[in-house]
Each structure stands twice: as structure tokens, then as C-alpha cells.
Amino acid sequence: MRWNSLDDMDLNAKTVLVRADLNVPVEDGRVTDDTRIQRLAPTVHDIIAKGGRPVLLSHFGRPKGKVVPEMSLQMLIPAIETAFGLTVSFCADCRGPAAQAAIAALGEGAVLVLENTRFHPGEEKNDPALAAEFADLGDVFCADAFSCAHRAHASTEGVARLVPSCAGRLMEAELTALNAALGAPDRPLVAVVGGAKVSTKLELLGNLVEKVDHLVIGGGMANTFLAAQGIDVGKSLCEHEMTQTAAEILTKAATTGCDIVLPSDIVVAREFRAGADSETLPADTCPADAMILDAGPETVARIATVMEGARTLIWNGPLGAFEIPPFDEATNSAARKAAALTRAGKLVTVAGGGDTVAALNQANAAHDFTYISSAGGAFLEWMEGKTLPGVAVLGD
């Protein structure tokens, strides 16, 4: 799919409506992690450099169509000013005469942030009337919230139909990296999928077995796959009602030629807590009173071998209960291996999804990855092979 970038647009003296994702973590009115804001800075700076006036639209939280003062974007302004190094003004509505007046008053080189789009019930309904009101505010629409692109809302999809549209720098980086990883990847391609449950990642696994050469399955969901093979997983987290589905995925992989890597050894404990007594055992010998909390060293060595032979890697989800050491070992080792291969220029590595980024950061590996997506749900839907409405609308 071809889409316009900021480079394709004439922005001189134009008002550029930027759909950003300012849904950042906040505690007591203060931003605790401004990564998402930092990643918007290139878009805003480039718009200003091209003579445009950036006006930011975003949602925050789930106010469900009502004004909820605690979810006002106004509290973010100091953090946005710091991250952008620019003067940032705020308007207490995201449409209508107030927003029009704030845009008219916007000084050169300054940024305007409009109030939470989800204060209006039309936002999540993709109401054409609200989309038209957004469209009235700008000359150009710049989509820069890949993390919201799986939702067809008035500010992500509706407005893009009504105004000349382009991808912002963050959206551009996401689409380019994701296409390099799953659209037209250098092969062999390996996917590492971990996390708690098969049920939340079923479509993703179904899509991946058709596309990747090796699929590493770890975390709690691996237990369901072990159970599907008739292995007793004791007290482990396991969705026994999903074993049939897991078996079907294994069968599908056999027909598509996708090599599935499941734990061959496991780390088990009797308690789910940091520092709990643990032992490493063959995967088919989990004691009845124990739970599998991590993959063992033999499995990690096999994952490392697969990575060494691969050219591209996509990662979502931890390989074990990574928040409670020592059950972070497989995740840490595999992440560090992927990071080292990336540093050596041997592997293109793309990762995404909330817990994944936390796990890779904890392993001190994230900064070496080729690309870390800023998205959670949108990244998963992209891995599921779905068309994201906020991306599709940018196409020719």
C-alpha cells in the first residue's frame, strides 16, 4: 500500500491536524513516562520547519463520551512543552468555535493541543458529523497514532476521508518497520510469541504459522500447547479448553512448513513469587503440585540457534513470568541474544505490545532492537494480519 508522508505535502501556511497518541501514563497529574510524547517530536518539528501549524488531537483514557476533568489533556501540557522544546497552548474543546479561535490565535512555531477527543460521544462511533467538524479545523490531516490505528474513530479514520491526509514520522517509521518484518521480510523469519494465554493470541498464532519460518511459543500459553500434546502440566497456568485449538495450530504449522519451537525443558516452582524455590526439568515431567513458570536453558539454547539462522525476528510476549526472578531468565537470555545479533547486523528485530517492551527493557535489550513499536493492541492486530482502518484510509 502506498501512502503520503509529510514530504509529499505542501504544508506552508497550512494548519496541520495531527492525530497523536497522548494516552501516556500519569500519576497524580504528572506524566510518568513521556516516551510516546518524545516520539511525536519529529513530526511536530518537521511540520513547523515546512511552515505549517501543528494542531494535536488525541484521546486520553476512557471518558465514554462525557467530559471527565481528570482526563483532560491540559495536565500534559508541561510534559509536551519539555519534550518538544516549544511553546504549547491548549484549547478546552477539540471542535467548534473555541477550537477555531485557538487555531487562529496560534503563533508561528507554536503548537496547539485540543481537548480529549473522547469527551464527545461521536468519537468512538466514528460519527461523520464530528469527523466533519475536525476536518473544518485543518487543511491537512497527519495520522501519527499507529497505536490507535486499529480503531475506526472520528479522529483516526473519519476525518482522514475528508481532508488531504498523510502519515506522520512516527506512523511512517511504524509502517516501514512492520512491513520489513512481516510484509516483505528477509528470510528466514522467526516469531517469538509468549504471554499468558492462547485465547488472547489465537488469531495471531493462526496468521503467523502461515507467514513465518519458525514460531517460538513461550510463556503461559506454551503450557496449553504442551497439554495439547498429552503432557501433564500440573498446576501451571493452562487453558485446558483451548487444547483442541492449540492442536489445530500445530497441525496447520505442519502443513505450512512452519517449525514450531516449544519448551523442551521447563523451570517449575510450587509458589508464584520472586525467589521461590525452583527446579529445571524435562518439559514432560512437571510434578502434579508444581507450575511451569519459565522455559529452561536447553530451550533457550534452541531459540538462540534459530535466531542465529534467521534474518528477521518479530517478538510479542514474555517467555516466562518475567516480573518475578528467577523466572525472567529465558526472556532475558533470548532478548539479549536477539539484541546481540541485531548489533552485529545479522538480524532485523521488531517488537511490540505493552508487556513485551517492559520485558525487553528489563533485559536491557530494547535499545538494540531494530524497532520497538509504540503500539499495543494495534501491533497485535497487525500481527494477526488484520487491516487497520487508520492505516487503510491513508492508502491511495
Closest separation in Å from C-beta 318 to ligand AMP: 5
Please pick, from the candidates 283, 286, 292, 394, the single residue that binds ligand AMP as defined by CB under 6 A. 292
Identify the CA nearest to 57 among candidates 153, 169, 185, 125. 153
Burial of 100 (0-12, 13-18, 19+ CB in 10 A): middle
Identify the CA nearest to 90 among candidates 109, 71, 112. 112
Please pick, from the candidates 54, 138, 220, 390, the single residue that binds ligand AMP as defined by CB under 6 A. 220
CA distance 355 to 352: 8
Burial of 8 (0-12, 13-18, 19+ CB in 10 A): exposed
Instruction: Note whether 34 binds ligand AMP by CB under 6 A.
Output: no
Please identify, among the stretches 5-13, 52-60, 95-103, 190-198, the one whose residues bind ligand AMP according to the rule CB under 6 A: 190-198
Please pick, from the candidates 115, 144, 157, 355, the single residue that binds ligand AMP as defined by CB under 6 A. 355
* Host H or E run for residue 269: strand 265-269
Contact 251, 277 (CB under 8 A): no
Please identify, among the stretches 194-202, 204-212, 224-232, 282-290, the one whose residues bind ligand AMP according to the rule CB under 6 A: 194-202
Instruction: Note whether 168 binds ligand AMP by CB under 6 A.
Output: no
Residue 252 appears among annotated catalytic residues = no
Q: Which of residues 300-329 bind ligand AMP (CB under 6 A)?
A: 317-318, 320-323
Please pick, from the candidates 122, 219, 296, 390, the single residue that binds ligand AMP as defined by CB under 6 A. 219
Catalytic one of 161, 197, 252, 343: 197
Closest separation in Å from C-beta 383 to ligand AMP: 12
Instruction: Note whether 158 binds ligand AMP by CB under 6 A.
Output: no
Which residues, at least 6 apart from 37, have a Cβ–Cβ distance to it below 8 Å? 22, 24, 31, 76, 79, 80, 83, 84
Minimum CB distance to ligand AMP smaller for 176 or for 362: 362
End-to-end CA distance of the chain: 8
Residue 385 appears among annotated catalytic residues = no
CA atoms within 13 A on the CB side of 203: 10
Please identify, among the stretches 93-101, 195-203, 241-249, 361-369, the one whose residues bind ligand AMP according to the rule CB under 6 A: 195-203
Instruction: Note whether 263 binds ligand AMP by CB under 6 A.
Output: no
Residue 197 appears among annotated catalytic residues = yes
Number of separate helices (H) and strands (E) present in the chain? 14, 17
Instruction: Note whether 269 binds ligand AMP by CB under 6 A.
Output: no
Minimum CB distance to ligand AMP smaller for 71 or for 205: 205
Closest separation in Å from C-beta 321 to ligand AMP: 4
Minimum CB distance to ligand AMP smaller for 200 or for 285: 200
- The DSSP bridge partners found for residue 280 are 267
Identify the CA nearest to 152 among candidates 175, 128, 183, 176. 128
Instruction: Note whether 239 binds ligand AMP by CB under 6 A.
Output: no
- Which residues are near ligand AMP by CB under 6 A? 195-197, 200, 219-220, 237, 292-293, 317-318, 320-323, 355
Please list the active-site residues.
Answer: 36, 197, 354, 377
